[in-house]
Structure 1
Amino acid sequence: MSSLPQPPTTIQTPGFAHYSTSWSPFHTSRLALASAANFGLVGNGRLHLVSVTPGPARLPALNIEKKYETQDGLYDIAWSEIHENQLVTASGDGSIRLWDIMLDEHPIRAWQEHTREVFSVDWSNIQKDRFVSSSWDGTVKIWTPDLARSVLTLQAHHACVYQALFSPHQPELVASCSTDGTVKIFDLRSPSYLTTGPNTNTFTNPISTAVLTVPASGTEILSIDWNKYRPMVLASAGVDKVAKVWDCRMVQTGGVGQVGGSCETQFLGHEYAVRKVQWSPHRSDVLATASYDMTCRVWTAMPQADRPQLLHIHDPHTEFVVGCSWSLYDEGIIASCGWDGRLSVFRL
C-alpha cells in the first residue's frame, strides 16, 4: 500500500451532501458535483461546478464557480460528449434535467417519465447524441437531448435499478445493476419485445429480456463499471462489501439463477457497503472504490510481489463516501465526494 507524497485538497459545501462527482471530458480543470440537502432524504438539491487550478507543490486548488438550485436532491451527473458546456442530472423527484453552464439558474430541458427516483445517468462516448438513465421504478431509458420523450425503455429489473451504463466498446450494449443482486446486459438491437398491434412501440412495451444476466451477489448491487480497455469486462460492487470483476464472455448461463463461471477477481477489505466502483481510464488493471466505511480505495487486478492488490486508502472523509471519479487527463488524480459535504481531490 503506497502513501501519498502530498495531502489531499478539499472543499466544503455546508448543508449539502454529495452523491456524485464527474470530471469534464473537455476541460482538465472542471468538475461537477451532484448534491442533496439532508443527505438526500428530503429537501432540495444543488449542482455545483468546481474549477481545479494548479496550486503549490503540484496540489490542485479548488473553487466553486457556480451553483444551480433544484427542488429535489440530485443523485448523479453526466457530462455531454458533444457539447462542452452541457450536462444532465438525475433527481429524486424522477426528473432528468439538461443544463448549460454558460446560462444561469434554469435548465434548458427537462424530462419527467420515470415514476420514482432517477439514480444514475450516463452519456455514451461512442454514439455521442445519446444518454441513459436508471431509476428506482425498475426501468432504464435511452434519451437524446433533442427529443421531448425517451427513445427506448428497458424493463431492466423488477426492483430498483441503481446504475445503467453504455459500453465504451459497443454502442448498443447497456449494463445495469439492481437491488435484486444481478448485473444485466441489454443489446439495444435485440428484438426482445412484442411488436404486434398498430400502437405497439418501445415506449409503451419496453424491452424486458437481457442478453446476459449475472447473479453477481446475494445482496444489492449498488454500482458497476465497464473496463475501458477490455471489452465485455465489468466490475460490480454493493452491499456485500466486495468489488468483483466479471469477464462476461466466461459467464455461461445454465438456467434461471445458474451460471457456469465465477468472478475473475475479488477485492476484499471494505468494512461496509461499496457505493461506487470505477475503472481507471488510463490502466486496464486499476480501479477505485468508494464506500460507506468513509474511505476511497485504489486497487489493482494484477498484483505482484512488490505491488499488492490494495494500492492506496484515502480516508479524510468523515461520512459515507459515495462518489469517486478519475481525471481523464491526469493519470494520478482522483476526486472523491461524500455525505460530509466534502469534495476531495488527491494525487497518487
Structure 2
Amino acid sequence: MNRPLPGVLHTPGFAHYGIAWSPFHNNRLALASSANYGLVGNGRLHIVGLGLGPGGLPQPGIDKFYETQDGLYDAAWSEIHENQLVTASGDGSIKLWDVMIKVGSARISDLPIRAWQEHTREVFSVDWSNIAKDQFISSSWDGTVKLWTPDRPRSLTTLQAHPSCVYQALFSPHQPDTVATCSTDGTVRIFDLRSPAYMPSAPGANSFTAPLAAAALTIPASGGEVLTLDWNKYRPWLLASAGVDKAIKVWDCRMVKLGPDAAQNPAVGGVCEAHLAGHEYAVRKVQWSPHRPDVIASASYDMTCRVWSTTPQPGAGHLLYIHDPHTEFVVGCGWSLYDEGVLASCSWDCRLNVFRV
C-alpha cells in the first residue's frame, strides 16, 4: 500500500510535534518541534516552503526558523494576517510570530511580536477560528481552555473544560461560538460560548479569576485518554476522536440525552457513526480532509500515518492507505488546503514527509 518515497525534510536534534498548513499560501507550512522529544530543552518553529522535487513530488525546505526556550507542541496560522502564526509551548506560554520581520540574520530570530503567559502548565494545542478570524484558542495540561485575540494583553475567556489535561481544543468550522475539547478523562466536550453559563454572576467576577465550566454536551468517547479530535468540514455536527484505545471514532453530536438534573450537569450524548480500527498503538492525531466529507487521516505511535474512508470501499474496507517510512512515533498529520490528496506527516524521527495519497 506504499507509494514512492515522499519529499522529506530532516531537522536533526528536533523531534516534531505539530504541523499547520498556511491558509493563504499553498506552498507554506509551519512545523512545531522540540529538543529531546519535548521532555526538556529548547524548541524550534520551522517555516517550511515547498518546491518540486524529482518526479514532481513536493520537496520541503526550511525558509526560516525561530528558537524558543522551551519545547513547542503546536502551531496555528492567523486567519487574517498571512504572515502571522501562534505557537503552544511547554513553559505555558503562547507566542505570536511574524515571519516577515527580520531581526539579525535573515534566517533565524528568537523574538515573537507578542507573548502571553496565563496557563500554569504546558500548552498543548492552539487553533485559530476560520469564522471569527480575530480569535484563537489554546488548551493546556492545567485543564483550561482560553480564548484570545492578538490585540489584547490577556485572554478574553477561560473555560475550566476538564478536571485534568486538555490535549486539544478546536473551533467548529461551522459555528463561530462552538468549541470541542478532549482530555485525559476519556471525554469529548462541546462548549457554546453564547451560553448564559459563561456570563459572570458574582459582582466583580470575570472569566479570568472565575473560570467557566459548563459544557453543552459531554461525549463519553473512550475508557482511556482521548488525545485528538477534529470537526468534519462538511457535516456541521460530526466530529472524530481518537486516543490510547487505538481506534478512531466518528460522532454525531446532535444526539443529546438530558437527565433529570440537566440544569446542574451537562447533557450527555453523541452517537458513534463509525469505528475505525487498525492502528497498533495510540492514535495521536486525526484530521478530516478539507476536500472530501468521508476521508480522514490519522497519525499514530505505531509509526504510521493512515488514510481512512468512513464509507467502506469494496474489497478494502475503511482503510485506504498506509504511509510507513517513519522510524519513530508519528505525532502529526495535515492535509494541504489547496492541493487535494497531498498530506504531510511529522514524527519524533525529526522528519517531515510531504506526499500525495
TM-score by length of 1: 0.96
Determine helix, strand or coil for the equivalent of 1:77: strand
* Paired position in structure 2 for 1:114: 119
Superposition deviation, residue 198 in structure 1: 2.8
* Paired position in structure 2 for 1:68: 66
Q: Paired residue for 1:13, among 11, 14, 21?
A: 11
Determine helix, strand or coil for the equivalent of 1:66: strand
| CA-based RMSD | 1.5
Alignment of 1:339 with 2:331, yes or no, is no
Q: Distance in 1 between matches of 2:165 and 2:258?
A: 23
TM-score by length of 2: 0.94
Superposition deviation, residue 193 in structure 1: 4.4
For the 8 Å contact 1:193–1:205, the answer to whether it is kept is no
For 2:126, the aligned partner's letter is V
Deviates more, 1:232-241 or 1:196-205: 196-205
CA pair 159-79 structure 1, distance change in 2 beyond 3 A: same
CA pair 30-194 structure 1, distance change in 2 beyond 3 A: closer
Q: Paired residue for 1:34, among 23, 32, 35?
A: 32
Alignment of 1:283 with 2:288, yes or no, is no
1:9-57 superposed Cα distances (whole Å, 9 cap, x missing partner): 1111000000001111100110110000000000010000111012232
Identity among equivalent pairs (%) = 71
Alignment of 1:297 with 2:306, yes or no, is yes
* Paired position in structure 1 for 2:105: none
* Paired position in structure 1 for 2:48: 50
1:280-313 superposed Cα distances (whole Å, 9 cap, x missing partner): 0000000000000000000000113255310000
* Paired position in structure 2 for 1:182: 187
| Pairing of 1:260-339 with structure 2 (within 5 A) | 262-339=271-348
Alignment size in residue pairs: 346
Determine helix, strand or coil for the equivalent of 1:249: strand
Determine helix, strand or coil for the equivalent of 2:312: coil
Determine helix, strand or coil for the equivalent of 2:55: helix
For 1:108, the aligned partner's letter is I
Gapped regions of structure 2 (runs ≥ 5): 103-108
* Paired position in structure 2 for 1:142: 147
Superposition deviation, residue 202 in structure 1: 1.5
Gapped regions of structure 1 (runs ≥ 5): none
Q: Give every structure 1 segment of 4 or more consecutive aligned residues whose post-TM-superposition deviation is greater than 2 Å.
A: 193-198, 250-262
* Paired position in structure 1 for 2:174: 169
CA pair 339-260 structure 1, distance change in 2 beyond 3 A: closer
For the 8 Å contact 2:244–2:282, the answer to whether it is kept is yes
Determine helix, strand or coil for the equivalent of 1:303: strand
Q: Distance in 2 between matches of 1:251 and 1:268?
A: 25
Q: Distance in 1 between matches of 2:336 and 2:269?
A: 36
